[in-house]
Amino acid sequence: MKFGTDGVRGVAHEELTTEFAVRLARAAACVLGADGARTVVIGGDTRESTPAFDVALTEGFNAEGIDVVRLGVVPTPLVAFEAQRSDAMGAMVSASHNPYQDNGIKLFAPGGTKLTDDVEARIEAELAALDNPRRRSPVGSLRTTEPAVVAVNGSSGYVDHVLKVLEGRDLNGLKVVLDAANGAASAVAPAALRRAGAEVIVVADAPDGRNINDRCGATYPQFVATEVVAHGADIGIALDGDADRLIAVDHQGNIVDGDHVIAICALDLRSRGLLAHNTVVVTVMTNLGFKLAMEKAGIHVVVTGVGDRYVLEALAAGPYSLGGEQSGHVIFSDHATTGDGLLTALALLDVVQRAGRPLAEIAAETMMSLPQVLVNLRIATRVSDVAELMADDVARAESELGASGRVLLRASGTEPLIRVMVEAPTAERAQASADALAEIARQRFG
């Protein structure tokens, strides 16, 4: 198993096994601990398979002499935060927005940063060395510390950390529906929003091991949209299973995706002199409407490949202060080392609170999305070079759309999916083009 766009991921106990998790932890300890880090913090989401992988990672890290601090059920950004403040390695057991049958492992370098391609390649090489029976297994392990060093009662270090984005302001008077996706932030996110002063109605906050992301959360914002309208709330926030991203909805139930959230926050930061180098970082999936809006506002846009770690690399290279993805991964690099759905929610709510106007108005005046259609085609086996194999088909589609359209076809980095994204002047043209390309892919790859 190799790293995808966000760690390793697969069907629990079939594609991703506990035996592999032990070896991955050992390999990661050898590579990431080479500069002296001797501690790892491990967290996980609410899937029924997560505890087994937590134990496996602990065994692997301990086998290489690494001290393990087990955090329990916590969001991915909390793991990154704890790794940053203790200069430790980090590991998160989660398949993010995937269904409960899947699970995954995300690794953080000492200090809470995501791994580069080079570091991932070194870990994969170390995995291969571990598979060689001639290698002598290391001996000696250190302690495992439980329970979690993080409280979820609204007074933890992590909650203090995310609330700093408010700069001492509060959210008094805002009525918020929070969809916790039956996931890792089911406890900590409501506590943080209430401590900020918001009136919070929480839904999908009763995880049972199998209901994570099940018709709820950031991949199913229709649920929180319905709840917002039913409760007469000002705004809805839908997190995903490990709470490293969000999708918002306005008081009318309209979806406000990551592009709009980033655009809103970019203009707000720029107005307060906090947008470093007057630049924002996004990916190739970002709607053309975002780029047009930023151009009109005089904000420079840096575009990366798909994956929040590529956004993070560009942010660090700038250095820039804001970036993210349409899917709702938003990174405030002055505050965090990774995307954080809760921190982003607080930042967005703060903008709405200070503006004294509905999110619907703010989003509408910030940018207008061109019609964009995304078709996800599930195939039997992942085809990593699908973009190259279908380059001629994509070129023909773009020629038919002309200058007012755009096509992006790629393999998912985490699932056996081919993603076909088309932008066009009308939704009908975008859908027709996307469906045609998806059908070609289906015939070729099954």
Report the catalytic residues.
96
Answer yes or no: are the C-beta atoms of 434 and 375 closer than 8 Å: yes
Instruction: List CB contacts of 241: < 8 A, sequence separation 6 or more.
Output: 45, 46, 47, 94, 95, 96, 97, 98, 181, 182, 183, 184, 212, 213, 217
Instruction: List CB contacts of 365: < 8 A, sequence separation 6 or more.
Output: none
What gap in Å lies between CA 433 and CA 374, rounded to an integer?
A: 10
What gap in Å lies between CA 122 and CA 27, rounded to an integer?
A: 9
The first and second tokens of residue 93, run together, are 């057991």
- 3-state class (DSSP) for residue 361: helix
Say how many residues make up the chain.
446
Instruction: List CB contacts of 124: < 8 A, sequence separation 6 or more.
Output: 2, 3, 27
What gap in Å lies between CA 410 and CA 419, rounded to an integer?
A: 5
The first and second tokens of residue 349, run together, are 């709510």
SS3 of 80-125: HHHHHHHCCEEEEECCCCCCCCEEEEEEEECCCEECCHHHHHHHHH
Q: Determine what percent of the chain falls in helix, strand and coil, rounding each to the nearest 5.
A: 40, 20, 40
Answer yes or no: are the C-beta atoms of 223 and 203 closer than 8 Å: yes
Angle CA 49–190–230, to nearest 5: 105
Q: In 10 A of CB 99, how many CB atoms?
A: 15
Sheet containing strand 330-332, strands side by side: 300-304, 279-283, 322-324, 330-332
Q: What is the torsional sign of CA 146, 96, 79, 40?
A: positive
DSSP one-letter code for 7 = B
